[in-house]
Chains A and B, each alone.
Chain A
Amino acid sequence: MAREIPYIAAVQEAIRVEMERDPSVVFYGQDVAPSDEDPLVQAFGRERVRVSPISETAEIGMAVGLALAGYRPVVELLMAEFMLVAMNQVVNEAPRLRYMSGGQVKVPAVFKAGYGFTAGWAGQHTGSIYGMFMGFPGLKIALPSTPADAKGLMATAIRDDNPVCYLINYLLVLEHGDVPEGEYTVPFGEAAVRRSGSDVTIVATGWTVGRALAAAETLAGEGIEAEVIDPRTLNPLDTATILSSVEKTGHLVLVDQGTRHGGASAVIAAEVAEHGFTSLKAPIAQVTALDVTVPYSEPMEAFVLPNEEKIAGKVRQVLGEAPVAA
């Protein structure tokens, strides 16, 4: 049975369900359940649900150690940038230990954090920094864009035998949607086609999925049918679904809340350029955030981000409805 709940509640529900299902799941982090009245503490006790100090290196490093010792930790890191404090543990320890051991060990850990909070949080708490994690084989990246995916991807992240950066888009936390009750998983590496269309393929993640769908509605009024694809996970990346859509539409617009250089859309563009070149009828276009630190002041913040108008405009460009320029 599905019922409508907010995205953020769906994330918590996945953690609760998985903790019930598997006693090796532990959940901790800064400001996680400081009160003994917290439902997770009530359900699972203080041994498995803990509040930790502001010690990111220890928090993430401990998750690696717990995972090596047979547990499945979920670490609450609040903001994706806080992982940067402990970057070594995230990218140089967790995803590498299995490989370097010749497959002897595994590190099933979830690094849960928020990102993309472009709501006046200025430069250090808003970054859509997942692109940089794509270059670390062994590290999976999940970016849920709907409440159902928020639940299903978290459950899959917990059950996965690898380190997963599970990133919540903070602009979506209060979005409501149908979420199945009980155990529910969404497989990694399977993109969701959020809207079918034959004229252009738009690939978007997280918060930008909604922006892309809104742009697609506008374009439909102009007789342009856009297909909107949400990869849901960046590692593994479902290039097959993207390539087959491009084969159908011949046009590709990539939308990314992160920066243009070194970002996720650049990686997808390279894959399609290499493997789908003959399908393309026009150059690939990207609608990303500008290559700047996200500014504080509201008009500037809006200026650097992708939005519906920019997406629709870029679609018109690649379809030749408007001049193709930089």
Chain B
Amino acid sequence: MDADVAIGLLRTMWRIRCFEERVVQLKRSLQVHGLIHLSIGGEGVAAAVCGRLRDDDAVYSGHRAHGHAIAKGAPIDRLMAELMGRSDGVCRGLGGSMHLVDAEHGFMGATGVVGGNLPLALGTALTHHLQEADRVTVVFFGDGAVQAGHFNESINLAALWRLPVIFVCENNGFAEFTSREEHSTIERVSDVVAPYGFERTTVKGSDVPAVWEAFGGFLDAARGGEGPFLLECLTYRRRGHYEGDQQKYRDAAAEQEWAERDPVAQLTRRALDEGWIDDEAAAAIEAEAGEAIEEAVRFARESPFPEPAITAELVYAR
């Protein structure tokens, strides 16, 4: 971690934060529709993991995908247009928030069914292995996916075939609305994969330098063709499972604690303490992100709604 890295990560995190806060407003005013899942409070993981990757590395995400797509380099104006259902959206308005894809930047896609992305990531990792490429696949998933059968099927195969894939679990302690202790007797996801013998670790997702370091070690090994690895990041989603969730299951005390451990605030403090940035520069990073998001909203609003006829054109590849 140095000044350049920290500044880069702060930029990404602020872009995600501003994007998602803007989406909250747009959802309330019905300019974004459907089901929206936000990662506010968890931006550090997306920024630190994707910040280390190249465009030709593959990332898979789930329903809570905005941050991963932004951090992987997907253009925010086209992401915003997608959320607003416009023809210039990354998926031309056919996918929406839960199904973002930007293949050009290696964001291979988000899937709407919990854990459905895990076997897909294995396929991509196998491709890289067969091509003897130094490309790495990263798959993000939540703690809720760990209890799904395809998680175990994927873990066994990845371990057996030693695939260059890094499983990144964002363990926010809730599978949708249910806490982890109601889902499993094993608290840490990294312990669930213990029988399979590959390298794994658990870090605090709010500690961005720790995520950066831990992921970096796995990434270097995976570039050399080793794998799999599992990085568990303990995070907290500061908003509900989805926008509109009444969150009756939430613990107010934990919420306060996590607000204090906000990854953006923490990394900003660290950068100030180290003298990497001053207050003015910190404010500028936030302001730049805000302006970029406003520009993205303008872009999206100007984009027309898609021609309905494209629905029929895109069912089969031609």
Chain A interface residues (CB < 8 Å from chain B)? 30-31, 34-35, 51, 53-58, 81-82, 85, 119-125, 290-293, 295-300, 303-304
Contacts and interface: CB of A to CB of B under 8 A. Distances in A.
A53 B34 contact: no
Given A53-B144, A292-B311, A295-B93, A34 B182 contact: yes
30 contacts: A30-B175, A31-B176, A34-B177, A34-B182, A35-B249, A51-B182, A53-B144, A53-B147, A53-B148, A53-B175, A54-B145, A54-B148, A56-B148, A81-B113, A85-B148, A120-B96, A121-B34, A121-B35, A122-B96, A122-B99, A123-B95, A125-B112, A296-B91, A296-B93, A296-B94, A298-B33, A300-B85, A300-B305, A303-B311, A304-B308
A122 B312 contact: no
A297 B115 contact: no
Contact of A55 (B95, B149, B249): B149
B34 A292 contact: no
Nearest to B312: A292
B33 A120 contact: yes
B99 A296 contact: yes
Most buried by B among A34, A82, A300, A303: A300
Contacts of A34: 177-179, 182, 249
Given A122-B96, A296-B95, 13 more contacts: A54-B176, A122-B112, A123-B94, A124-B111, A125-B98, A125-B112, A292-B311, A296-B91, A296-B94, A297-B85, A297-B86, A300-B311, A303-B311
B182 A119 contact: no
The binding surface of chain B is classed by DSSP as loop
Contacts of B86: 297
B33 A119 contact: yes
B318 interface: no
B178 A299 contact: no
Interface string B69-108: 0000000000000100110010101111111000000000
B283 to A, nearest CB: 36
A320 to B, nearest CB: 28
B149 A297 contact: no
Contacts of B33: 119-120, 298
B177 A31 contact: yes
B34 A293 contact: no
Nearest to A52: B183
Interface residues of B, number: 44
The list of the 9 closest CB pairs from A to B, nearest first, reads A120-B34, A297-B85, A296-B96, A53-B147, A297-B93, A120-B33, A303-B308, A124-B112, A53-B183
A125 B95 contact: no
A53 B113 contact: no
Most buried by B among A119, A122, A125: A122
Contacts of B130: none
Given A30-B176, A296-B85, A35 B114 contact: no
Nearest to B304: A299
B176 A297 contact: no
A300 B149 contact: no
Nearest to A82: B113
Nearest to B33: A120
B35 A58 contact: no
A300 B98 contact: no
The binding surface of chain A is classed by DSSP as loop
Contacts of A300: 85, 93-94, 305-306, 308, 310-311
Interface string B142-170: 00110111100000000000000000000
Given A30-B178, A34-B178, A55 B311 contact: no
Given A35-B248, A82-B113, A120-B35, A295 B94 contact: yes
B2 to A, nearest CB: 40
B194 interface: no
Contacts of B252: none
Contact of A54 (B85, B93, B147, B310): B147
A57 B308 contact: no
Contacts of B115: 54
Contacts of A295: 93-94, 306, 311
Given A35-B248, A54-B148, A120-B33, A299 B179 contact: no
B98 to A, nearest CB: 6
B178 A122 contact: no
Contacts of A54: 114-115, 144-145, 147-148, 175-176, 183
A291 B308 CA distance: 13
Nearest to A124: B112
B315 interface: yes
B47 to A, nearest CB: 26
Nearest to B313: A292
A55 B146 CA distance: 9
Given A34-B178, A35-B249, A122-B99, A296 B34 contact: yes
A250 B128 CA distance: 62
Contacts of A121: 34-35, 98
A83 to B, nearest CB: 11
A299 B182 CA distance: 41
B99 A123 contact: yes
Contacts of B34: 119-122, 296
Contacts of A81: 113
A122 B98 contact: yes
Given A55-B149, A124-B111, A297 B312 contact: no
A125 B150 CA distance: 19
A76 B99 CA distance: 24
Nearest to B89: A297
Contacts of B25: none
A55 B150 CA distance: 9
Nearest to B113: A124
A55 B147 contact: yes
Nearest to A50: B182
